[in-house]
Structure 1
Amino acid sequence: MSAPADVTQERAEDRRMALYLVLGQIPSGKVISYGELADLAGLGRAARWVGRTLSQLPADTRLPWHRVLGAGGRLSLAQGTPSGDEQRARLRAEGVSLRNNRVDMSRHGWRPMDHNS
């Protein structure tokens, strides 16, 4: 009865690949929220799952994890932590302005073109 476990593992891998595919498309200087990323990847309301999955990326990943923020542009990685400081440095290097631990989503938010219009 290993089929259900195999199917579950395959679904989890499919979800990760969908997430990584969208994440890899976010251009330099743009950001997106965990919830928006989940939605664009076809994962529904899986913002927390997105956050957990991104936290498990290898240290040498080329995926732009630093461009994913909390709701309303809030930086969810604490300042003064290695990952929080790295995120802030990477965003600043891309020209993203930070103010009061937030990014202006109207200025820096990524909105891929709507293919339905």
Structure 2
Amino acid sequence: MKPFTAKVIHIIQSIPEGKVMTYGGIARTAGSPRGARQVVRILHSMSRLHKLPWHRVVNVKGIISIMDEESSSLQKLYLLGEGILFDEKGAIDLIQYEYHPVPTD
């Protein structure tokens, strides 16, 4: 496993209940500010294997990015169950709910 991938997995596993991170925020914390798309691929391919809390990852606008309606609804349901609220446009207030871990080296 590549070091960036291992860092991304660790960061996603560390997102606490009731908090979210953005794809770009995870990439920056893992040491690759331009690696948001890699984070998407890691989430897609490794969530089940590593039991990642995939539902705690949203886009930079605080919006669920998953296009599949069933998966998107499931993600929203999980987040609501953790106490995360959405505004009238379906966005999460990142100032309130975004998790900021200490960057890894």
- Which is greater in Rg? 1
**Structure 1 unmatched ranges of 5 or more:** 1-9
Corresponding residue number in structure 1 for 2:75: 87
Residue ranges of structure 2 left out of the alignment (5+ in a row): none
What RMSD over aligned residues (CA atoms) do the two structures have, in Å? 2.0
User: Mapping of 1:13-32 within 5 angstroms?
Assistant: 13-32=2-21
State the 4+ residue runs in structure 1 displaced beyond 2 angstroms. 57-62
TM superposition score normalised by structure 2: 0.84
Equivalent residue runs for 1:1-117 within 5 Å: 10=1, 13-59=2-48, 61-78=50-67, 81-99=69-87, 100-112=89-101
Give distance in 1, aligned partners of 2:81 and 2:50. 18
Total equivalences in the alignment: 102
Q: Using CA pairs below 8 Å that are at least 6 residues apart, which structure has the higher relative contact order?
A: 2
The 3-state SS of whatever aligns with 2:61 is: helix
Q: Structure 1 residues 103, 48: CA separation in 2 closer, same or farther (over 3 Å shift)?
A: same
Measure how far apart 1:59 and its partner are: 4.0
